[in-house]
Amino acid sequence: MALSVSTPTSSSLVPSSRQVVRLTSRSAKPATSSLRRLPVAARAAAGNAPTSPVSEVVTELDAVAGFSEIVPDTVVFDDFERFAPTAATVSSSLLLGIAGLPDTKFKSAIDTALADGECNALEKPEDRMSCYLTKALANVGAELAHQVPGRVSTEIDARLAYDTQGIIHRVHELLNLYNQHDVSTDRLLFKIPATWQGIEASRLLESEGVQTHLTFVYSFAQAAAAAQAGASVVQIFVGRLRDWARNHSGDPEIDEALKKGEDAGLALAKKVYAYIHRNGYKTKLMVAAIRNKQDIFSLLGIDYIIAPLKILQSLEESVTDPDVKYGYVPKLTPAFCKTYNFTEEELVKWDQLSLSAAMGPAAEELLASGLEGYVNQARRVEELFGKIWPPPNV
């Protein structure tokens, strides 16, 4: 069941009045996606809403979508006629999905990358495969950019996570490739791991007008440094921090939250939200790894909430009286931000040494795990490319 979610128009990911949609195939690893929400009348006519008078149909999803951009974690190609995509994300996992579906219209974009003469001329096999991966990401991203009105987000190779200049060079390579496909910079966003080197790359790229999205943020220090760097989007994985806290101890940041009776993941998201807004940073905050509806209710007012489809289905199926809709209120507001008092240590200008010292074992372990997953995906793509090269008809 695909859902469409009405969203605010202040998204930094897509132009004004646009909405974020990230797309994947059925066989690809689920990717985050935001869909247009059908009007209540239309959903009732389509059989997706109760048969009570349309004016009285209000679901929990209707109620919460007015406060945060609610982002489903998957959308399949079959849904496009009902939910026209407005933006897209390109990643190694998406390339694997496309390569596994010979009939998809994006397959030719991969074949073209594998036939690229510049890549073929490289002597080292590892350089050749990396070149193919970069070309394939840009080819597929450009194809999507010509089909959707919003921005295309491109994942940066996690093997460059500790190489600032390597990240910048890769982004510039992708920008050049996108430019060859007539895709302008303002249509693009680049997803970078939140290592210090990634944060520094984000600062330099944002100064050039290139929008960045820092991921794998598991500590206040990472988020604060990213906001100071001017990152367009910072992403916190709420559930992963909660999972870590259930099975480990010894992380000062998490232990402090637990002593206050707070959930470690939710506490970090709220603190970072307050820090961003108290200091006037442009950064938008995204939360992922949502485990239940209460997580969503607790974070209403945050910029973006990525939630599993089963949770959104539950929200969609929970019908409430129209008057009850107004009982849903944003928890993250300017008034909420004023309740936070930050220490001098937290308000410092973050650098590599202070960031390293402030990151606890949870952030270190979860960052390493996330990077390993991304690296494995990239290697799988390159191994696949090595098996299918040269492509048919080349």
Say if residues 223 and 273 touch (Cβ distance below 8 Å): no
Please tell me the distance from the alpha carbon of residue 284 to that of residue 307, in angstroms, as a whole number. Answer: 17
Q: DSSP per residue over 51-118, as a string?
A: SS-GGG-EEHHHHHTTTSEEEES---GGGTTTS----EEE-HHHHHHHHT-TTSTTHHHHHHHHT-HH
Say if residues 264 and 244 touch (Cβ distance below 8 Å): yes
Antiparallel, parallel or unpaired: β 188-193 and 152-155 = parallel
| Token pair 């944060």: residue | 199
- The terminus-to-terminus CA distance of the chain in angstroms comes to 40
Instruction: Read off the tokens for 356.
Output: 């390293």
**Element housing 238 (H / E):** helix 238-247
Say if residues 351 and 228 touch (Cβ distance below 8 Å): no
> Torsion angle, CA of 174/179/185/186, rounded to 10 degrees?
-130
Q: What sign results for the dihedral spanned by CA atoms 316, 17, 189, 136?
A: positive
- Residues marked active site are found at 191
Say if residues 368 and 194 touch (Cβ distance below 8 Å): no
Please tell me the distance from the alpha carbon of residue 367 to that of residue 195, in angstroms, as a whole number. Answer: 8
Please tell me the distance from the alpha carbon of residue 40 to that of residue 128, in angstroms, as a whole number. Answer: 51
Please tell me the distance from the alpha carbon of residue 29 to that of residue 367, in angstroms, as a whole number. Answer: 20
Q: Which of 282, 283, 244, 284 is nearest to 263 (CA)?
A: 244
